Amino acid sequence: MAAGEPQADCLFCKILAGDIPATVVYENKDVLAFRDINPQAPVHILVIPRLHYANVGELGSAEPELTGKLLAAAAEIANAEDIVEPGYRIVFNTGAGAGQTVFHVHAHLLGGRGMQWPPG
Ligand code: AMP
Ligand code: ZN
Protein backbone atom coordinates (compact mmCIF):
# COMPACT_ATOMS: atom_id res chain seq x y z
CA MET A 1 0.00 0.00 0.00
CA ALA A 2 1.37 3.43 -0.93
CA ALA A 3 1.52 6.06 1.82
CA GLY A 4 -1.58 8.22 1.91
CA GLU A 5 -3.71 5.92 -0.28
CA PRO A 6 -7.42 5.53 0.59
CA GLN A 7 -8.20 2.49 2.76
CA ALA A 8 -11.31 0.44 1.96
CA ASP A 9 -12.07 -0.25 5.62
CA CYS A 10 -11.55 3.35 6.84
CA LEU A 11 -14.61 5.29 8.02
CA PHE A 12 -13.09 8.69 7.24
CA CYS A 13 -11.91 7.60 3.78
CA LYS A 14 -15.57 6.64 3.17
CA ILE A 15 -16.69 10.11 4.30
CA LEU A 16 -14.07 11.65 1.97
CA ALA A 17 -15.41 9.53 -0.89
CA GLY A 18 -18.98 10.63 -0.13
CA ASP A 19 -20.04 7.05 0.71
CA ILE A 20 -21.03 8.02 4.28
CA PRO A 21 -22.76 11.35 4.94
CA ALA A 22 -21.24 14.03 7.16
CA THR A 23 -22.07 17.60 8.10
CA VAL A 24 -19.20 19.30 6.29
CA VAL A 25 -18.26 22.76 7.58
CA TYR A 26 -15.07 23.39 5.58
CA GLU A 27 -13.12 21.86 2.74
CA ASN A 28 -10.23 22.64 0.46
CA LYS A 29 -8.01 20.56 -1.80
CA ASP A 30 -6.06 19.15 1.15
CA VAL A 31 -8.48 18.80 4.06
CA LEU A 32 -12.11 18.17 4.98
CA ALA A 33 -13.82 19.23 8.22
CA PHE A 34 -17.15 17.97 9.54
CA ARG A 35 -19.11 17.94 12.79
CA ASP A 36 -18.42 15.08 15.20
CA ILE A 37 -21.41 12.72 15.39
CA ASN A 38 -21.07 12.55 19.20
CA PRO A 39 -20.08 16.11 20.18
CA GLN A 40 -18.19 16.64 23.44
CA ALA A 41 -18.57 20.44 23.36
CA PRO A 42 -20.95 22.96 21.73
CA VAL A 43 -18.44 23.12 18.86
CA HIS A 44 -16.80 19.76 18.06
CA ILE A 45 -15.41 19.48 14.57
CA LEU A 46 -13.07 16.88 13.08
CA VAL A 47 -10.45 18.14 10.62
CA ILE A 48 -8.88 15.44 8.45
CA PRO A 49 -6.39 15.32 5.58
CA ARG A 50 -7.63 13.89 2.30
CA LEU A 51 -4.63 11.54 2.41
CA HIS A 52 -4.93 8.51 4.70
CA TYR A 53 -2.42 8.39 7.52
CA ALA A 54 -3.20 6.44 10.69
CA ASN A 55 -2.28 9.13 13.20
CA VAL A 56 -0.63 12.52 13.63
CA GLY A 57 2.78 10.93 14.24
CA GLU A 58 2.74 9.28 10.83
CA LEU A 59 1.27 12.36 9.13
CA GLY A 60 3.74 14.73 10.78
CA SER A 61 6.72 12.61 9.77
CA ALA A 62 5.61 11.96 6.18
CA GLU A 63 3.81 15.23 5.34
CA PRO A 64 4.94 18.19 7.45
CA GLU A 65 3.52 20.72 4.99
CA LEU A 66 0.13 19.01 4.97
CA THR A 67 0.20 18.89 8.78
CA GLY A 68 0.62 22.67 8.79
CA LYS A 69 -2.27 23.05 6.35
CA LEU A 70 -4.46 20.93 8.62
CA LEU A 71 -3.70 23.21 11.56
CA ALA A 72 -4.23 26.33 9.44
CA ALA A 73 -7.66 24.99 8.46
CA ALA A 74 -8.47 24.31 12.13
CA ALA A 75 -7.54 27.89 13.01
CA GLU A 76 -9.69 29.25 10.19
CA ILE A 77 -12.65 27.14 11.35
CA ALA A 78 -12.14 28.29 14.97
CA ASN A 79 -12.48 31.86 13.70
CA ALA A 80 -15.57 31.04 11.66
CA GLU A 81 -17.18 29.24 14.62
CA ASP A 82 -16.38 32.21 16.90
CA ILE A 83 -14.55 30.13 19.55
CA VAL A 84 -11.18 31.92 19.50
CA GLU A 85 -12.24 33.82 22.63
CA PRO A 86 -12.19 32.64 25.37
CA GLY A 87 -10.32 29.72 23.83
CA TYR A 88 -10.48 26.36 22.13
CA ARG A 89 -8.66 23.06 22.16
CA ILE A 90 -7.17 20.95 19.35
CA VAL A 91 -6.68 17.27 20.26
CA PHE A 92 -5.05 14.43 18.33
CA ASN A 93 -5.76 11.18 20.16
CA THR A 94 -2.86 8.98 19.06
CA GLY A 95 -3.11 5.25 19.73
CA ALA A 96 -5.87 3.20 21.32
CA GLY A 97 -4.54 3.85 24.82
CA ALA A 98 -5.02 7.59 24.25
CA GLY A 99 -8.61 7.11 23.08
CA GLN A 100 -8.11 6.88 19.32
CA THR A 101 -10.90 4.84 17.72
CA VAL A 102 -10.70 5.91 14.07
CA PHE A 103 -7.27 5.31 12.56
CA HIS A 104 -7.35 8.06 9.96
CA VAL A 105 -5.66 11.07 11.51
CA HIS A 106 -8.09 13.74 12.71
CA ALA A 107 -7.81 16.91 14.74
CA HIS A 108 -10.64 17.35 17.23
CA LEU A 109 -11.47 21.08 17.34
CA LEU A 110 -13.39 21.69 20.57
CA GLY A 111 -14.80 24.95 21.88
CA GLY A 112 -17.78 26.85 23.15
CA ARG A 113 -17.40 25.81 26.79
CA GLY A 114 -14.80 25.97 29.54
CA MET A 115 -12.03 23.35 29.47
CA GLN A 116 -10.27 21.63 32.36
CA TRP A 117 -6.60 20.71 32.67
CA PRO A 118 -5.23 18.05 32.95
CA PRO A 119 -7.42 16.24 30.40
CA GLY A 120 -8.84 12.84 31.33
P1 AMP B 1 -11.07 9.28 18.17
O2 AMP B 1 -11.73 8.51 19.29
O3 AMP B 1 -10.08 10.33 18.63
O4 AMP B 1 -10.48 8.33 17.15
O5 AMP B 1 -12.21 10.12 17.48
C6 AMP B 1 -13.10 9.57 16.55
C7 AMP B 1 -14.27 10.49 16.52
O8 AMP B 1 -15.05 10.21 15.37
C9 AMP B 1 -15.21 10.36 17.73
O10 AMP B 1 -15.29 11.61 18.41
C11 AMP B 1 -16.55 9.97 17.10
O12 AMP B 1 -17.66 10.54 17.75
C13 AMP B 1 -16.38 10.47 15.68
N14 AMP B 1 -17.20 9.80 14.68
C15 AMP B 1 -17.38 8.46 14.53
N16 AMP B 1 -18.15 8.21 13.45
C17 AMP B 1 -18.46 9.43 12.91
C18 AMP B 1 -19.25 9.84 11.80
N19 AMP B 1 -19.86 8.96 10.98
N20 AMP B 1 -19.38 11.17 11.56
C21 AMP B 1 -18.77 12.06 12.37
N22 AMP B 1 -18.00 11.74 13.43
C23 AMP B 1 -17.86 10.44 13.70
ZN1 ZN C 1 -8.72 6.81 5.85
User: What residue spans define the domains of the chain?
Assistant: 11-111
Ligand number nearest CA of 21 is: 1
99 CA to centre of ligand 2 in angstroms? 17
The reply to whether CATH 3.30.428.10 applies to domain 11-111 is yes
Is residue 20 helix, strand or coil? coil
**Alpha-carbon gap, residue 71 to 69, rounded angstroms:** 5
- pLDDT per residue as tens digits for the range 73-105: 999 999 999 999 999 999 999 999 999 999 999
Q: Whole-angstrom distance between the N-terminal and C-terminal Cα of the chain?
A: 35
Ligand 2: centre distance to CA 80 (Å): 26
- pLDDT given for residue 1 in this prediction: 62
pTM: 0.98
Catalytic machinery residues: 106
| 26-56 residue pLDDT tens | 999 999 999 999 999 999 999 999 999 999 9
User: How many separate helices (H) and strands (E) can be counted in the chain?
Assistant: 3, 5
- Cis bond upstream, residue 118 (ω within 30): yes
